[in-house]
Amino acid sequence: MNINYSNGVVLVSGPVKSGKSKFAENILSHKDDVTYLATFTINDSSILWQNRIAEHKLRRPSHWKTIESNNISNTINNLTNKSSLLVDSLGGFVFAYLDLDDDNWQKLMATTINSIINFEGLILIVAEEAGWGVSPSSEVGNKFRDRLGLIIEKISSISTDTWLVLHGRAINISNNSIPI
């Protein structure tokens, strides 16, 4: 894979187990100064979750710095401007702030987008595609899906490139689509 970015925002989205994290990691594999931001900070002791985290850790180069936080803006503001950041993933960020009312969510989203725009390095953002199937039967499920879809759309609009990863294959939808 020969995809090389020096700065900007690159969005990588796709369904669960599609290869989106692996694709984003491969894009950054040749970089020295990379921070991996793991946004899911829930303490889940299930073997499945522990195995998934271990799988992600094993793929990453050992010299990458890992931060576990759902505060994307704070992490960006504490990085050197020429470094690279991999945010994995937007779902963890949205999940962490589901208790915010709509006004405070909009403010947080605007602050986060502003931090992303002002960063001079490279940011790869991994996002789950959650709105392709059956509508969730719960209010919180619908809120998660809607907020995730909204922030993906906003980040896509400021991205250098947007990639969709399906079945272990990546499609550059910035180059193969028209904005609506």
Q: Yes or no: say if 12 and 24 are a contact pair by the CB < 8 Å rule.
A: yes
Query: Which CATH topology does 8-172 take?
Result: Rossmann fold (3.40.50)
Write out pLDDT tens, residues 135-159. 888 999 999 999 999 999 999 999 9
pLDDT at site 135: 85
CA distances for 61 relative to 12, 37, 56, 174, angstroms: 19, 14, 10, 28
**DSSP 8-state assignment for residue 71:** -
**pLDDT-above-90 percentage for the chain:** 78
List Cα–Cα distances, 27 to 73, 85, 168, in angstroms. Answer: 22, 11, 14
Using one digit for the tens of pLDDT, what is the confidence trace for 46-73? Answer: 777 677 777 777 788 889 999 999 999 9
Cis check for the bond before 6: say yes or no (omega within 30 of 0).
no
Query: Mean pLDDT in each 10-residue stretch from start to end of the chain (180 residues)?
Result: 92 94 95 93 70 77 92 94 93 96 98 97 96 88 96 97 96 92
